[in-house]
Amino acid sequence: MNTNYLPSDYLPIVVQLLAALGFIVGSMLVSHNIGPKRHSKKKDDPFECGIPTEGDARTPISVKYFLVAILFVLFDVEIIFLYPWAVNFLDWMKESREMAIAIFVEMILFMGLLLVGFYYIIRKGVLNWNQ
């Protein structure tokens, strides 16, 4: 593999960047300039059909939704660690049995800590929707 890259070798990236930017800026300019502009009160409303808008979009939402969402992301991301670990595990096993066992124990520890956290969440009543 060629490891010596000159700055000019990165030119395609710059071209790509310029093309992407150019498309966005160009299409925005064109659509703003070509289209007709007719202002009226009804036209400038966020919704111009259907029932009249009422109230504020920023209504308070129960914090439980956020908690569940954050917990989902947290455990989801931690589970992702298992994939590279599982893919590489057989290679480690071939290389040295002791190291593979040590790595296995490390993953057990990691999962154990995760489970402790899960138990804490359940005891704390975060997943209890009726509370």
Partner 1 sequence: MLSIISLSLFGILNLFLGFLKSRRVLLPATLLFIALAFAANLLDWNHQYVYFRDMLRTNNLFINFSSIILLTTFLTVAISRSFGTDEEHTHPAEYYAIMLFSVVGALMMVGFENLIMLFIGLEILSVSLYVLTGSDKRSLRSNEAALKYFLMGSFATGIFLFGIALVYGATGSFNLSAIGSYVSGGPTTGISPLLYVGLLFILAGMLFKVSAAPFHFWTPDVYDGAPTLFTAFMSTVVKTAGFAALYRLLTVSFTGVYGLWWQVLTGVTVLTLLVGNITAVYQSSVKRMLAYSSVSHAGYLLIAVAAKTPQSPSAILFYSLAYSIATITGFAVLILVAEQKPIEGRPDERYEAFNGLAKRNPLLAFSLAVSMVSLAGIPLTAGFWGKFFVFSTAVDRGMTNMGMVLVVAVLMSVVGVYYYFRVIIASYLKTGDSEPIGIRPLYRFILVLTTALTIGLGLFPDVVRQLF
In the complex, the residues that contact partner 1 under the rule CB under 8 A are 113, 116, 120, 123
Question: Could you tell me which of 61, 67, 78 has the C-alpha nearest to residue 112?
Answer: 78
Cα 104 to Cα 86: distance, rounded to the nearest angstrom: 10
Q: How far is the CB of 113 from partner 1 (least distance, A)?
A: 8
CB of 107 to partner 1, least distance (A): 15
Nearer to partner 1, 15 or 115 (CB): 115
Question: Smallest distance, Å, CB 25 to partner 1?
Answer: 27
Please say which residue, 86 or 116, places its beta carbon nearer to partner 1. 116
Q: 57 or 63, CB closer to partner 1?
A: 63
Nearer of residues 68 and 102 to partner 1, judged by Cβ:
102
DSSP state, 90? H
Residue 76 CB, nearest approach to partner 1 (Å): 19
Range 107-114, long-range pairs (CB < 8 A, 24+ positions): 107/82, 110/78, 110/81, 114/75, 114/78
The tokens describing 44, both together, are 């400038």
Q: Scan for tokens 């989902």, then name that residue.
A: 72
